[in-house]
Amino acid sequence: MRAIGIILAGGHNHRMRELSQKRAISAMPVAGSYRSIDFALSNMSNSHIQRVAVLTQYNARSLNEHLSSSKWWDFGRKQGGLYVFTPVVTADNSNWYRGTADAIYQNLDFLKNSHEPYVVIASGDCVYKMDYNKVLEYHIDKKADITVVCKDMPEGMNVDRYGVIKMNEESRIEEFEEKPVVAKSNTVSCGIYVIRRRLLIELIEKSAEEGRHDLVADILIRYKGMKRIFGYKMKDYWKNIASVEDYYETNMDFLKPDVRNFFFREYPAVYSKVDDLAPAKYNVGSDVKNSLVSSGSIINGKVENSIIFKKVFVGNNCTIKNSIILNDVYIGDNTHIENCIVESRDTIRANSYYVGEGEIKVLIEKNERYDV
Amino acid sequence: MIKKEMIAMLLAGGQGSRLGILTAKVAKPAVAFGGKYRIIDFPLSNCINSGVDTVGVLTQYQPLRLNTHIGIGIPWDLDRNIGGVTVLPPYEKSANSEWYTGTANAIYQNIDYMDSFNPEYVLILSGDHIYKMDYEVMLDFHKQNGAEVTLAAMPVPLEEAKRFGIVITDENRKIVDFEEKPANPRSNLASMGIYIFNWKTLKEALLAKADQPNLDFGKHIIPYCHEKGAPLYAYEYNGYWKDVGTLHSYWEANMELIDIVPVFNLYEDYWKIYTKSDKLPPQYMSADSVVERCLIGEGSVICGKVYNSIIGCGVTIEEGTVVRDSIIMNDTTIGKNCEINKGIIAENVIIGNDVKLGVGEEIDNDTAPHIYNHGLVTIGEKTMVPNGVSVGKNSVVSGNTTVADYPDMYLGSGKTLIKAGDE
């Protein structure tokens, strides 16, 4: 094994609005049957990285539940395994993670006790499929100190919420600006880094001494002149979930055949926790067009251009349009839902009418459910 | 010392020859059922839901699919430090090596396995029935009555009783007599092939009858215990129980799952049915698709129209195709503009474009009318059906077929097309 993995999964974002109340972004359900972190975890597993640490902080209940067993991603091995690190109070530290670098610093023993020469750092809020070995080979080939995976965003797209990178013709990173007011290129960092383990330990310890806690600002940007930091361009699908709009768009992308085939049918597969739900059921009156439906769901009404997650019940004569219905939602008869994201475990009363006007509406309706 | 109160022995070695081409390459317990399941998932899930965490699965006929499905038992939480699931095939011995020659003979050959858990009770199950049963309740009944043997029995209509092994009991459900497929049944309680034995009683009976050829529970072990005067009780079961022994009953049991609230409900959280799921993605319904009265498994893509059908995982049904009253198993692809009526299509089948299955009048099957009947069309696993052909009713197709195999592009009703080398 050449590398160990670190997945940064502690983040939340106010632009996720009500959706972030319940869970960290890494635990957001994505594409009907998955959670955001499944993509990074599956990539690690499929890249034969067997020792992986997940660093969590913000509301990790849902995430911990999802990671209750590591066997779904094939980490339940004698060699390696999946480690979940939440901030803890110790004899000499009682801080929360004050930043990504600090999160790694507080778990530095994980790095020190490994013997693999490299570390792959990824974040848990991106949807993509990638063989990290390719980045690693590139990293070695370029004799880089740090390799940053990046992606060219479409010309003219507003990239002011990303880390924007400018590389020279050798692909060495010359400029790296976090959330720039005026972006100098359309190449953005994907938040995936490859670095030698000893170098990472050194840089993290040094930053900690200086009271600096952020991986991007205090290490990548600060050292970009001194260290050989290279960019590796990723061509395939990559989306970062940082806002309700991103989240909606990322899910809706899975209605496109090329995205669906890439993630669902092409090798290797994306893994997730297995829920043992019955096949989806379509009763008389169901009318489902251009939609994804997950197992355990029972459909009695009309569904169009929507993503139905697991264990959803859609009542008679309902219309669900351009919406995302998260796990375990019950929708009573004659209900109309359009341009909405319905929060998981909601119960929507019969004869309700919800339409997101202008923006996507996040629907949280905790009514009493009468189980039959 | 290891001690398990009750362990289960699951008989999964049978071929199930009346399922025809479906069991040509797999044992009956490994045949797909209800979209994503295999038949053996039902007794295995019942075991873990009943708190029985030690299960020996006896395999013999075509065990590959069964073995890969069971693995180390992860889907059923039967991967245990002590106990869990163990696959028990027949094995060579220093003397008298033999196949499993009967249900009880298979158990007899695994006395050592059972002894190693030092059980109080042994539960004997068969791997080819669809039902949900709490074996713990049956065990309570067994203990309360001080029984040495308890067999599960269900009331059947009196006119059907002649097809079953019938038990005659007194008012306390103590068994007084047996009748095997009686012409004039004296009771309507049919044995379901589910037994709880006191391990001492079972071991003694197995050793005593060891030399009996084709040693069978119904024919030899139960009568032996009865003659010896052991207290035998019948545990009455009134839930859903289906022997999917024939293609028609298999088809019917699948179709029953489609009802609005089916008698056999897969959506109950407190009695989940577990299975090995290789696929996770949601299913996609295209803008032109129509699905009504269907169960559809993970990762399937439906662009056509599907009515009244059970669709497995990873199935593709292309546009213009109409599927009615059919069962389509995992990873099968059906091309464009096809018409499928009352089809049972096994796993990994590729059906070309413009194919019609189940057309024409009903004619008895030419080779095995007792298997292929009721107007069903059966397609064996990994079959290729070329573009543009039609297949009649009560027919069966298997193997890599080409247009040349279909005279005038039509395989008539009641015909059997099983390509050599693929049997």
Least Cα distance to B389 among B362, B416, B419, B411 occurs for: B411
User: For A217-250, what is each residue's pLDDT tens digit?
Assistant: 999 999 999 999 999 999 999 999 999 999 999 9
Tokens 């089916």 belong to which residue?
Answer: B262
Interface A–B counts its CB contacts (< 8 A) at 108
- Determine, for residues A293 and B266 on separate chains, whether the beta-carbon distance falls below 8 Å: no
Select the residue from A267, A276, A291 to test the B interface by mutation, using most B Cβ atoms within 10 A: A276
Q: Which two tokens stand for residue A105?
A: 């610093």
Min Cα separation B354/chain A (Å): 23
Q: For chain B, which residues score pLDDT lower than 50?
A: 422-423
**pLDDT score at B279:** 82
Tell me which chain A residues have a C-beta less than 8 angstroms from the C-beta of B329.
none
Question: Under an 8 A CB cutoff, do A289 and B297 touch?
Answer: no
Model confidence at A72: pLDDT above 60: yes
What secondary structure letter does DSSP report for B64? Answer: H
Report the pLDDT value the prediction gives residue A129, as an integer from 0 to 100.
97
CB atoms within 10 A of CB B403: 12
- pLDDT higher than 80, residue A331: yes
Burial class (CB in 10 A: 0-12, 13-18, 19+), B16: buried
Q: Do the chains contact at A292 and B272, CB–CB below 8 Å? A: no
Nearest-by-Cβ selection for A288 from B285, B299, B310: B285
> How far is the CA of A40 from the CAs of A7, A9, A110, in angstroms?
7, 10, 19
For B266, the closest of A264, A271, A278 (CB atoms) is A278
pLDDT of B421 reads 59
Return mean pLDDT, chain A: 94
> How far apart are alpha carbons A337 and A361 in whole angstroms?
10
Distance CA A32, CA B75 (A): 21
Residue B287 with chain A: CB contacts under 8 Å: 289-290
Residue among B190, B195, B170 nearest B179 (CA):
B190
Q: Alpha-carbon torsion B193, B199, B204, B210, what sign?
A: positive
User: Are B283 and A307 in contact (CB < 8 Å)?
Assistant: no
Q: What is the pLDDT of residue B422?
A: 46
Is B284 at the interface with chain A, CB within 8 A? yes
Nearest CA in chain A to B282: A294
What is the full DSSP assignment across A181-245? SS-S-SEEEEEEEEEEHHHHHHHHHHHHHTT---HIIIIIITTTTTS-EEEEE--S-EEE--SHH
In angstroms, how far is CA B368 from the centroid of its own chain? Answer: 21
Chain B residues in contact with A265 (beta carbon < 8 A)? 299
Q: Find the CB nearest B281 among A264, A296, A308.
A: A264
Question: For the segment A157-179, what is each residue's pLDDT rounded down to a tens digit?
Answer: 889 899 999 999 999 999 999 99
B271 is written with which tokens? Answer: 């009695």
pLDDT at A371: 59
Among left, alpha and beta (phi > 0; psi -120 to 50; other), residue B341 is: beta
Start-to-end CA span in chain B (Å): 48
For A25-36, what is each residue's pLDDT tens digit? 999 999 999 999
d(CA B348, CA B169): 48
Nearest CA in chain B to A279: B297
B159: tokens are: 């006119």
Q: Does A288 touch chain B (CB under 8 A)?
A: yes
pLDDT at residue B137 in the model:
97
Q: What is the mean pLDDT of residues A44-63?
A: 94
- Of the pLDDT bands very low, low, confident and very high (cuts 50, 70, 90), residue A75 is very high
